[in-house]
Structure 1
Amino acid sequence: MPLIRVDTFKNYSDEQLKTALDIIHQVAVNCFQIPDRDRYQIITQHAPNEMVLLDTNLGFTRSKDALVIQVFSRKRSKEAKLKFYRQVATELTQALQIKGSEILISLVENGDADWSFGWGEAQFVSGKL
């Protein structure tokens, strides 16, 4: 936890996808102070017609390099979120040679009762985590 979903166009190699996931995880470890083995990531690649990613009138365009990162997590401080956004964007732009405008990040907060890591048990509620 957090659970991180990444959506991309079918534009990246397996090595690039691994690099992206590794970067996102390491930044989450650093910014959210989570254990290194607290890694839950899902990546989905899409055909060009399966994602529409406009700019909300910010004046830029996105290309086939676009990445959408959704983070489902317990509550995090505003400072930790802002640090996460900046570091992910900085490191992904450097590693993948893409523009920062290609990276869209959304963080969705939830509570302890919203997680079951197996066996139908809410481990945060039961005290196992």
Structure 2
Amino acid sequence: MPICHIFMRAGKTSTYRQTIFDALYKAMRDALDVPDDDQFMTITEHEPENFRFGHAFGITRSEDLVYIRITMFDTRTAQQKKALFKRIAKLLGENPGIAAEDIFVNLLESSKENWSVGHGLAQFV
């Protein structure tokens, strides 16, 4: 039950944004065995003056940079996380053509008891 938040500069087309959603969902299905139709994602667009980045770790980034924050259960292995990072970079590189240097992913892990997905219930406890 991952939740994805994508942060990017404003100005890309709806098709471009939908392609990012589709690629992330496929990457999570492939690497994390996310169930069918388990899609909880948002994109937040920022005007250039409200979107800052650097070139830390010797990585030269462009204005196409996307920050991807995925909040998920704390049950995934290091292998699954590595596979997810690779799969995201591959799929976003293929379509819509985001360079690997412009894909910044942050995973946030949370215990299952911290989730309610509706009806005020703790479905995973």
* Aligned-residue identity in percent: 27
Aligned residue type for 1:121: L
Equivalence for 2:65: 66
Q: How much is the aligned-residue C-alpha RMSD, in angstroms? A: 1.1
Compute the TM-score of the two structures, normalised by the length of structure 1: 0.90
CA 1:62 to 1:11, structure 2 compared with 1: closer, same or farther past 3 Å? farther
Equivalence for 1:102: 102
How far apart are the structure 2 equivalents of 1:11 and 1:101?
Answer: 20
Equivalence for 1:51: 51
Asked whether 1:36 is paired with 2:30, we answer no
How far apart are the structure 1 equivalents of 2:78 and 2:99?
Answer: 24
Equivalence for 1:124: 124
How far apart are the structure 1 equivalents of 2:73 and 2:7?
Answer: 21
Unaligned runs of 5+ in 2: none
Aligned residue type for 2:62: S
Equivalence for 2:8: 8
Aligned residue type for 1:22: D
Question: Which consecutive aligned stretches of 4+ in structure 1 deviate over 6 angstroms post-superposition?
Answer: none
SS at match of 1:123: coil
Alignment deviations for residues 41-66 of structure 1 (CA, whole Å, 9 cap, x no partner): 0111111121222132x223322211
Equivalence for 1:80: 80
